[in-house]
Amino acid sequence: MPKAKPLGLIGNAAQFKAVLERGIRRSSVNFGIRVMPNGLTEPRLGIIAAKRFSKRAVDRNRGKRLVREFFRLAQKEVIPLDIVVQIRTDLRRSSSASLRTELGALLYKLAAVETKQTIESP
């Protein structure tokens, strides 16, 4: 079985800061997502999982693993954007399936907004 393509990641603090300051924002119960065009040929992902929301490292790691898995599977369908996902609650209360559905809905909304803005800009 061939290996999956590695996930493109946002590399440094300056890139995170740019997306957080200038990116388009949408949020849901468990996640906040910001996106910004990156000028590359593929999307890049950044994840913020603060101790404030999940005290245990195992819970923060589960959230990050779910987000990475979702974006790895959806990477071919996502336009080239820098995407920062912020975990906003303790994810132990939610099933993995419902979290994937929630991420998909947020990403769909943001991709539609970003595509519309790209088409409308001269």
Rounded to two decimals, what is the model's pTM? 0.83
Q: Which fold has domain 14-117?
A: Ribosomal Protein S5; domain 2 (3.30.230)
Residue 4: pLDDT band with limits 50, 70, 90: low
- β-pairing verdict for 31-37 and 81-87: antiparallel
pLDDT for the residue 3: 54
For residue 120, pLDDT over 80 is answered with: no
Q: Model confidence over 52-70: pLDDT tens digits?
A: 988 899 999 999 999 999 9
Beta-bridge mates of residue 104: none
DSSP state of 7: P
Q: Name the average pLDDT for the chain.
A: 85
Q: Model confidence over 37-57: pLDDT tens digits?
A: 888 888 899 999 999 988 899
SS3 label, residue 81? strand
| Average pLDDT of span 87-102 | 91
What residue segments make up the domains of the chain, in order of their start? 14-117
